[in-house]
Amino acid sequence: MTDLSSALPLDRRRMFQLAAVLGGSMALGERALAAPGGPSASAAPSLKVAPGTIRLNGNEYWEGPVEDGTDAARSAVARSNYYDPAGERDALIETVATMERVGADHVVPWAGSGSPLARSVVGFCSPQRGLVTADPTFEVAWMVAGYVGAPVAKVPLRASDQAHDVRAMLAANPQAGLYYICNPNNPTGSLTPMEDIVWLANAMPKDAVLLLDEAYLHFSHAASGMDLVRNGSNVIILRTFSKIFGMAGMRMGLSIARPELQARLMQYDGVIQTLQLPVPALACASASLRRMEQITARREQNTQTREKTAAFLAQRGLTVLPSAANMLMVDWGKPAAPIKAGFEAKGIAIGRSWPIWPTRSRITIGSPAEMERFCNTVERVVSQA
């Protein structure tokens, strides 16, 4: 049995501080992280955009849940006076366990995957055991590491293919508590080869954990790292229904790992957070998983729209990184902030840039019609910025 006893328990005061931060960040989504000083209830940026604005800024999917999911959610609303009268939580766990060929005790549902992501940092990092991530990547883990006083090593993506540079990640902190890999990565949509992920899982310290965030996996043809969970490795896999399943506003995500690892995510109110979940979201998630052919169709359409958009941008001399997800990182060759403002003035909300890449913006792939409008607007915005 792997020894996980070295991660420090948090004192009570810190737990309360962190709970406040997590509440803010999870409710607000990743855009809150762009706020100076991090998220807070009063300084929180609104997720609202002007009516009619095209939303290419939040990596959401442009359509709601598949029809069976919506129907299941609708009928669950009528039973929502009870906590979980039909056992929707157990049903989702069983469905996922069967699909992923893991034990039901390995599957924990949450109201989104952001919460288990943050809890992984709390559970496995400390001032002595740091966090290692790529740069750029999804930054929630950085923020939580700051709150637990854990050192953060940010390792640039490999220049040749924007994969996680796993050897450099291990070298950056050979004694880290948590190594975070987002595959496909946010904001690049780039893939990390499975052999590299397996290498890191085997090469990291025996009491460290690899957190593999597969929020965007179903947009790609990449394999999941689930074999690492099946073979008992110290790996936690995160999945979310917020992306290709079209359920960002319903809040449903999963952590999949050995029960001993899951137990470390349960500190403070964790058990409550996983036991009492919105029943319409649970029902919607289960019903959606039974219609995977429709999710596959979404993937194919997203790929077509993404590649068409990328080709258009490349023809105009803009550098676009190859992506396997619902986002494109575009290099404008000049500061990204005025370009973002220029698009917004024309009714298109695009994504932000990352400090390491100040001339690039992340563009979420919307519907074919939305991307056509985006393409038709590019030249005007870039020339005026």
Binding site for ligand PLP (CB under 6 A): 30, 59, 112-114, 117, 138, 182, 186, 213, 215, 240, 242, 248, 253
CB of 364 to ligand PLP, least distance (A): 10
CB of 237 to ligand PLP, least distance (A): 12
Q: At what angle do helices 336-345 and 368-384 cross, to 10 degrees?
A: 120
CB nearer to ligand PLP: give 253 or 366.
253
CB nearer to ligand PLP: give 135 or 207.
135
CB nearer to ligand PLP: give 215 or 310.
215
| Cβ contact 355:292 at 8 Å | no
CB nearer to ligand PLP: give 30 or 84.
30
Residue 201: how many other CB atoms lie within 10 Å? 22
CB proximity list for 297: less than 8 A, separation 6 or greater? none
Kind and range of the H or E element at 171? helix 166-172
Q: Which residue's CB comes closest to ligand PLP?
A: 112
CB nearer to ligand PLP: give 323 or 378.
323
CB nearer to ligand PLP: give 186 or 309.
186
Distance CA 203, CA 161 (A): 22
Distance CA 199, CA 101 (A): 22
CB of 107 to ligand PLP, least distance (A): 15
- How big is the chain, counted in residues? 385
Angle at 181 between CA 66 and CA 146, to 5 degrees: 105
CB of 154 to ligand PLP, least distance (A): 15
CB of 158 to ligand PLP, least distance (A): 18
How far, in whole angstroms, is CA 164 from its chain's centroid?
Answer: 15
CB of 128 to ligand PLP, least distance (A): 26
Q: Measuring CA to CA, which residue among 146, 285, 305 is closest to residue 219?
A: 305
Token digits of residue 235: 């790996």
CB of 280 to ligand PLP, least distance (A): 16
Token digits of residue 272: 């409550």
Distance CA 226, CA 224 (A): 5
CB nearer to ligand PLP: give 31 or 342.
31
